[in-house]
Amino acid sequence: MKKIILSAAILCLAASSSNAQLGGLVDKATKTAAAAGFDVNKLTSGIMGKLVPGLNLSGAQKTQVTDLVTGFLTKKSDIVPLAGTNPAEYAKKQSSLFSGLQSKLGGVLAKDQMSKFMGLKPASASSSNPLSALFF
């Protein structure tokens, strides 16, 4: 009986230890993204500040585009650490995410708005232009 209780206690300790480690990994990833200047809410606000007037979005479009941009940036926050550790993999995943965003935006924006959207792409990545978070 003592062996069963001891085994159960060891299993409980091991399970709680692995959960603590997983929580630590999530916290570390969140801190890494924040340290890289990747605040999803702040970026979404900055991006929408450029897209709303630049694309002349209607109220309904603004809501839909905001949701799409937030979803995109949330997914992108998972791959931001790769930019420093594995740039090739980051570029591949960024390209895939952006392609998905483009596809979804195509269902919300008119053709001329979509053309304007692509025309807003900065020449290079820049921390001063929030649109860089979408394109790079």
Q: What is the pTM of this model?
A: 0.72
**Domain map of the chain by residue range?**
1-35, 37-135
CA dihedral for 37, 40, 44, 47, sign (positive or negative): positive
Let me know: does 61 contact 108? Beta carbons within 8 Å.
yes
What is the DSSP secondary structure assignment for residue 129, as one 8-state letter?
Answer: -
- Which residues of the chain fall below pLDDT 70? 1-37
Distance set, CA 99 to CA 23, 115, 124 (Å): 31, 15, 18
Q: Is 133 helix (H, G, I), strand (E, B) or coil?
A: helix
- Per-residue burial over 2-28, b if 16 or more Cβ lie within 10 Å, else e, is eeeeeeeeeeeeeeeeeeeeeeeeeee
pLDDT number for residue 38 = 83
Burial (CB count within 10 angstroms: exposed 0-12, middle 13-18, buried 19+), residue 41: exposed
User: What angle in degrees, to the nearest 10, is found between the helix axes of 111-119 and 87-106?
Assistant: 150
